[in-house]
Amino acid sequence: MTIRGKKVVLRALEHEDLSKLRDWRNSPDIRLRTREYRLLNMPNQEEWFQSLLEKPPENIMFGIMEIEKEELIGVCGLAHIDWVNRSAEISIYIGERKYRDKGLGSESIDLLLNYAFDTLNLHRIWAEVYVLPKGYGVPGRLFLDCKFKLDGTLRHTVFRLGKYHDSEFYSILKDEWERTVDQKSHIQSQKANRSKPL
């Protein structure tokens, strides 16, 4: 299964990806902004990979492939899926540094939201962001740019860099996402009409 965008493709994770994922998740910059506090080994990765096969799945994860070079550059997915209340947490990281800050994370989130709302019929997608000093972690601006709303802040949720930090929680509802899709379609339609010869 693949989900294709303009610059990235989301594809199913394969067993042979696990060593690269282990290395990414053990890198200090990624571990700093996730809930993981241990250094992971291959048995940890094997156990996590097997958990993705549960039915109904609690987590659905994808590899992020850069289209031009067909390179695995990161991981994204839906975690802690609540099939009764139709909600899930979004998870994402770009493991390859050279592909960061190029809009590939935002496009991956857009593709993932389309899958969550249009295919799985989920109602709410949420994200937790640690409020770390500038230069560390994923800024909440990433989710605001993807039309999430800031729900609120919880104080001193995580201990990183020798002190406690707050967490910001963001979410987007299906009807909010549908409005953004309609707006994008309208803008694209206007651009197409302007480019047509008279």
Per-position DSSP letters for the chain, written without gaps between them: -EEE-SSEEEEE--GGGHHHHHHHHHSHHHHHTSS--SPP-HHHHHHHHHHTT-SS-S-EEEEEEETTTTEEEEEEEEEEEETTTTEEEEEEEE-SGGGTTSSHHHHHHHHHHHIIIIIS--SEEEEEEE-PPTTSS--THHHHHTT-EEEEEEEEEEEETTEEEEEEEEEEEHHHHHHHHHHHHHHHHHHHHHHS--
**Is there a domain that residue 127 lies in?**
yes
pTM more than 0.75: yes
The lowest-confidence range among 12-26, 41-55, 181-195 is: 181-195
Render pLDDT for 24-39 as a digit per residue (tens, 0 to 9): 999 998 999 899 888 9
Mean pLDDT computed over 57-70: 95
Domain containing 125 equals 2-187
pLDDT at 40 over 50: yes
Q: What is the pLDDT of residue 130?
A: 95
Number of separate domains in the chain: 1
Residue 66 lies in a domain: yes
What CATH number has the domain bearing residue 57? 3.40.630.30
Per the domain annotation, does 195 fall within a domain? Answer: no
**Tokens describing residue 156:** 């001193």
